[in-house]
Chain A
């Protein structure tokens, strides 16, 4: 499970890095004479409504989808881990305030919050990364807090306090490495989720904006031609499916390994 997931992700990362060498055409290159061509030897996944090569756009779209997923989860991990560590370690009023804020965040339908914020600040790849990251940390903070509460009671943490080490040192050198395992699993599963959210936002026209290729906006442009050009929607959909599945397999495998 872990090998399959990791293998697919390594493959996708390589595709993203080597995109200029793999893609036979430039992702923005239009050829109006070859509009809506079905898969053939010349265009292995066909062409879109502007005559752009679907395979090339799919390959470049890997960069967008992976970077949105990884950066968004990175932001989410940074906020979630910090809030969880501080809340679990200091306890008392700090914990109560932070956890009530987390409760409020968890009670808001995240996707509608995303739509609202993106509609307000404007759609762009960076805004999508930031907004997904900033809205998806609360559940991670809960996990880290619970782990921190348990680890903080162990003798080596008491010993660190007895030696007079700074709170920062205790939090980040002594507690963090002992609570990181569930964070890794949750973050890995989160990347798949973030890619799905980006695709959904792009599908609604609020994510990555054309002509930048993303799997989500490729699906959007394909929906109008679903009856006559199935390849425009099917291949980006399959790419999303495989990528999300790979991250979920890796996450599940890591969960079993780290138990």
Chain B
């Protein structure tokens, strides 16, 4: 299980030289959440409520100000970076900033696939070539020689998902993976994610500001507001009825 316990994150923001000293932004104020294997946990809340900050902290790359992230009952910061990468992976909202614009798709997939040889893990699937990985997300191997900006948003998001699952992680964090895509591509990605969950049994945290989408894909939904998890049925109903205000 991937679990966040009482996570607090405070950023210190410097003011301009004429505006006085710095001030603090409380992005997360004691957030606890559990992501279980073989289940999709939905996390929904308005923009700026701290969803993405939480996702970044759950990867173990960004450290919380207080609290801890437990990965299979062990503090995630006690894992080596490569060991952590084999267990938790992340997909971001904007596909165009998620891949290095200067490197080809092939290079960026190969560099992740080389990590499979360094990780002591019994991989379920035999994936050695980039083409085999792209098969999982139903993308043609002709994209391999392209640079990220030469692909459509949908194709690119599939490539990013392929890269994210290359190490067969136990948990996949999806930070608004469909927000920048049009509706027909959104449904294809959602279908793909459900297929991948059924195929690999990985646990997913699906983050979005679209409560209807989260409600549709997730096994359970967690609501977030102003850096806290809220358990308020009225708030949930309010969100369901007024998703437009969230954006």
Contact = CB atoms under 8 A, between A and B. Distances in A.
B97 A164 contact: no
Contacts of B41: none
Given A154-B97, A164-B80, A164-B84, A159 B90 contact: yes
A156 interface: yes
Nearest to B81: A164
B56 interface: yes
Contact of A163 (B80, B94, B115): B115
Nearest to B85: A164
A164 B166 CA distance: 13
Contact of B85 (A155, A162, A174, A177): A162
B80 A174 contact: no
Contacts of B100: 156, 160, 174, 177-178
A197 B99 CA distance: 42
Bin the interface of chain B by size: 20 to 34
Interface string A148-168: 000000111011111111000
A178 B80 contact: no
Contacts of A162: 59-61, 84-85, 88-90
B92 interface: yes
A31 B104 CA distance: 61
16 contacts: A156-B101, A158-B61, A162-B59, A162-B84, A162-B90, A163-B82, A163-B112, A163-B115, A163-B167, A164-B80, A164-B82, A164-B83, A173-B103, A174-B103, A177-B102, A178-B102
Contact of B97 (A155, A160, A165, A174): A155
Interface in A101-158: 154-156, 158
Contacts of B83: 164
A168 to B, nearest CB: 13
B188 interface: no
Interface of A: 154-156, 158-165, 173-174, 177-178
Interface string B72-111: 0000000011111100111010100111111100000001
Which of A155, A160, A163, A177 neighbours the largest number of chain B CB atoms within 10 Å of its CB?
A163
Nearest to B148: A156
B85 A163 contact: yes
Nearest to A163: B85
Contacts of B84: 162, 164
Contacts, number: 54
A159 B115 CA distance: 14
Given A159-B163, A163-B89, A164-B84, 4 more contacts: A162-B89, A163-B112, A163-B115, A178-B100
A146 B184 CA distance: 39
A259 to B, nearest CB: 15
A158 B61 CA distance: 8
Contacts of B59: 162
A71 to B, nearest CB: 27
B115 A164 contact: yes
Which of A164, A165, A174 neighbours the largest number of chain B CB atoms within 10 Å of its CB?
A164
Nearest to A160: B100
B61 A156 contact: no
A178 B147 CA distance: 14
Contacts of B111: 165, 173
Given A164-B81, A164-B82, A159 B103 contact: no
Given A162-B61, A174-B100, A177-B102, A155 B81 contact: no
Given A164-B82, A164-B84, A164-B115, A178 B98 contact: no
Closest 9 CB pairs of A and B: A164-B81, A164-B82, A177-B102, A164-B85, A155-B92, A155-B98, A155-B97, A161-B61, A163-B85
A255 to B, nearest CB: 19
B103 A177 contact: yes
Contacts of B90: 158-159, 162
